[in-house]
Amino acid sequence: MENVEANWENLPTLCFFLVLNKLDAYSNQVRFGAVCKHWHSAFNNFVDLKRQSSPNLVPMLLIATRMSNRIRQLCSLQVKTKFCNIELPKSHVMRFCGSSYGWLAAVNNNMVITLVNPFKYGITIDLPEIELLSDRTSAGYQFDVHKVILSADPLSHPDNYVVVVIYSNRARLAFYKPTQKSWIYLDKNLTAFTDVIFYKNLAYAIGTRSLVISFAINDSLDDSLKSPKVKIVRSAYQRIEDYVNRAYLVESSKGDLFSIKKKIEFEDSRDYSYFTKSFKVFKLVLDDQSGKLLEEKEVKNIDGDVVFVGDNQTCVVSALDFPEGQPNSIYFTDDYFIFTGYWPLGPRDNGVFNMKDGKVEKYYRRKAQQTDLPPPHIWVQPSVEFKFR
């Protein structure tokens, strides 16, 4: 028996799958599949099996149409940019100010935010009115709420989810729990936020001056309206040259925390033409006990993942679940607005940024008839039951 050679080429399929599952980086899995035809076949079968067990992981692009406020188009990046129509339960405003767990968020002129799930029989949830006073934008009520983020699916956790909003022309923070009657407002001196993430039982927020804060929202889901204590994780930049147009927070598939900062460039200030120029990504290393920032370093990868940013809740997809995409890339939508020029020009700044070469490419080109539509393009993750036709 000691002279018997191992038949590495024709190992049982289960052995291949066990090995592939241990390889964290998608690039290593690709190398595995490049060894020989049999290993390549095993790699393809492994990818298919993983994707079948986790459908609808890759967000789809929600696009406005001229048919009706109730009709939207879904664009799939996995199915050769295939489109299908979905119908909302009732006529909604053109702009959605959030997307989490398949739910879309919209605000009306009374500053009442409605959550609607078009993939779950159009069920809706009305949240309390946001108190703005005179702190409003000049672009209209649909832009007074910048972003809505959920901590969990309200259908799966009806009494144990949290909604965080970025609101007003100062981009302040407030949050709501279903056991409460109204919103809890954070310190109004904390402003200019652009994204929020729920990470290790805390909420983290970041803004255009790179200020990062954290606050607890899940310690007690009671009816208390007391504002939580806010911890400064990273101080804000003071120099104007350090300002960024948008900043995001994302947790990688490995559980690491990253900040993503977007820079745009104006082509013509007269008609507000702009485009995304670049992204910079920083890995944030926090102390597990105190939450103190131990290290912030610029990196050229996000653990091999693909990230989707915009007015939606920032989300990450493993390259294993999205082989059509490029590992360490950022898909973005047009979420930058100027109060006087955002609405009439329509969505125009979308693309995918490759961290390896620093290039931006288009994944979707708007049609001529979309130029005067408001920019409602937003990433949405359909429910598991949704079938793309």
350 domain-assigned: yes
pLDDT of residue 1: 45
386 domain-assigned: no
Q: Within this chain, do residues 374 and 329 fall inside the same structural domain, yes or no?
A: yes
Q: Within this chain, do residues 131 and 157 fall inside the same structural domain, yes or no?
A: yes
pLDDT above 70 for 388: no
pLDDT of residue 382: 85
Distance CA 272, CA 294 (A): 39
pLDDT of residue 78: 79
Q: Within this chain, do residues 203 and 312 fall inside the same structural domain, yes or no?
A: yes
- What kind and span of H or E run contains 380? strand 378-380
Query: What residue type is 197 in one-letter code?
Result: I
Query: What residue type is 249 in one-letter code?
Result: L
CA nearest neighbour of 226 among 166, 186, 263, 253 = 186
pLDDT of residue 291: 86
CB 96 within 8 Å of CB 378 = yes
Helix (H, G, I), strand (E, B) or coil at 368: helix
- Domain enclosing residue 14, as ranges: 8-48
3 domain-assigned: no
Characterize 327-343 residue by residue with b for buried, 16 or more Cβ atoms within 10 angstroms of its Cβ, and e for exposed.
bbbbbbbbbbbeeeebb
Q: Within this chain, do residues 216 and 306 fall inside the same structural domain, yes or no?
A: yes
389 domain-assigned: no
CA nearest neighbour of 217 among 249, 183, 186, 175 = 175
Q: Within this chain, do residues 274 and 144 fall inside the same structural domain, yes or no?
A: yes
Q: Within this chain, do residues 106 and 80 fall inside the same structural domain, yes or no?
A: yes
CB 383 within 8 Å of CB 102 = yes
Distance CA 275, CA 277 (A): 6
In Å, what is the CA distance from 329 to each residue of 125, 251, 350, 358?
34, 14, 13, 9
131 domain-assigned: yes
356 domain-assigned: yes
Q: Within this chain, do residues 13 and 80 fall inside the same structural domain, yes or no?
A: no
Query: What residue type is 75 in one-letter code?
Result: C
Stretch among 123-137, 199-213, 218-232, 268-282 having the lowest mean pLDDT:
218-232
User: What single string gives the DSSP state of each residue in 72-119?
Assistant: EEEEETTTTSEEEEEE-SS---S---EEETTEEEEE-TT-EEEEEETT
pLDDT single digits (tens) 138-168: 677 888 999 999 999 999 899 889 999 999 9
Dihedrals phi, psi of 219, to nearest 5 degrees: -60, -40
pLDDT of residue 221: 47
**Category of 200 on φ-ψ map: left (φ > 0), alpha (ψ -120 to 50) or beta:** left
CA nearest neighbour of 163 among 120, 96, 223, 103 = 103
Distance CA 191, CA 171 (A): 5
pLDDT of residue 47: 62
Distance CA 237, CA 247 (A): 13
318 domain-assigned: yes
CA nearest neighbour of 72 among 54, 99, 50 = 99
Distance CA 250, CA 294 (A): 18
Dihedrals phi, psi of 369, to nearest 5 degrees: -75, -5
pLDDT single digits (tens) 2-37: 555 666 666 676 676 677 766 755 567 667 777 787
119 domain-assigned: yes
CA nearest neighbour of 61 among 368, 352, 359 = 352
Q: What's the average model confidence in pLDDT over 128-147?
A: 84
Q: Within this chain, do residues 166 and 68 fall inside the same structural domain, yes or no?
A: yes
Q: Within this chain, do residues 159 and 15 fall inside the same structural domain, yes or no?
A: no
Q: Within this chain, do residues 326 and 292 fall inside the same structural domain, yes or no?
A: yes
Residue with tokens 């889901």: 221
Q: Within this chain, do residues 42 and 110 fall inside the same structural domain, yes or no?
A: no
CA nearest neighbour of 231 among 221, 242, 241, 217 = 217
Distance CA 337, CA 343 (A): 8
pLDDT of residue 173: 97
User: What single string gives the DSSP state of each residue in 31-78?
Assistant: HHHTS-HHHHHHHHHHHHHHHHHSTT-S-EEEEE-SS-TTEEEEEETT
Q: Within this chain, do residues 119 and 27 fall inside the same structural domain, yes or no?
A: no
CATH number for the domain including 215? 2.120.10
Tally of domains in the chain: 2
